[in-house]
Structure 1
Amino acid sequence: MDDLVLWLRAQPDEDERIAREAGGLAWSRPEDPGDPAAIRDSKGERVVCDEGWPSEGQEVHIAEWDPARVLREIDAKRQIIALHARAHHQCVAEDGPTQWHASDPCTTLRLLALPYADRPGYREEWRP
């Protein structure tokens, strides 16, 4: 199997580990602007306390990228990678549909790998 696919399959595992260590729960911003906890998890526990930070924009970002969302995204990525591991899968490349071959991963897999370009093992030749 292609090195990119093997490497790419391991990246969601690391994301999942991080999200689960963060509690794996949905996070939200407080409804009351006077609430000293800027972000709380779905059990009501403080995740980030307001001590002059985060800014409102950071609060929105933190709450939007909570562990629960990350776990849903990991599941979707794993399903996309699994589709590409099937020999009969047809990829749509920039120049039209092509049969995927391990020696030449399609643009979809290259794009899925791009957010992980700063992790060990990423190869510049995988960059789309």
Structure 2
Amino acid sequence: MDDLVQFLRARLDEEAVSERATRADDPVPAHAEHVRLRPLKDAYVKRWMLDQYAKVAHQESYDDSFNAGRATGLGDIVRKFAAVYADHPDYREEWRSTNS
């Protein structure tokens, strides 16, 4: 799953560059600053989730230990994040979540 985490971090990095470029070209009035910060906050939460998953991904299995369950749950969330980029050339079909 290291490749999946790296793939998603790269996509978040690309989006951050794009977001910074957009902000530089399109100043937002002070009263709307919270709207402009939303994508940055969203990326922060996704990076945090990726970090949490990276810590336990190697334990993802079908046993019933806490970390295995945590890895399985986080892994499903991370795969759902990745599904947004299914049309990216580096996306791997094996990352597709099996849960709908």
Could you say which TM-score interval applies, normalised by the shorter chain? Answer: 0.5 to 0.7
Identity of aligned residues (%): 36
2:28 touches 2:36 (CA, 8 Å); kept in 1? no
Superposition deviation, residue 67 in structure 1: 4.2
The RMSD of aligned alpha carbons is 3.7
SS in structure 2 opposite 1:87?
helix
2:80 touches 2:96 (CA, 8 Å); kept in 1? yes
SS in structure 1 opposite 2:45?
helix
TM-score, normalization by structure 1: 0.54
* Unaligned 5+ runs, structure 1: 28-39, 45-62
Aligned to 1:15: 15
User: What is the one-letter code of the residue matched to 1:41?
Assistant: V
Q: How many residues align?
A: 89
* Unaligned 5+ runs, structure 2: none
TM-score, normalization by structure 2: 0.67
Superposition deviation, residue 2 in structure 1: 2.0
Select the structure that is richer in strand: 1
Confirm or deny that 1:3 pairs with 2:3. yes
2:29 to 19, 42, 64: 42
Structure showing greater radius of gyration is 1
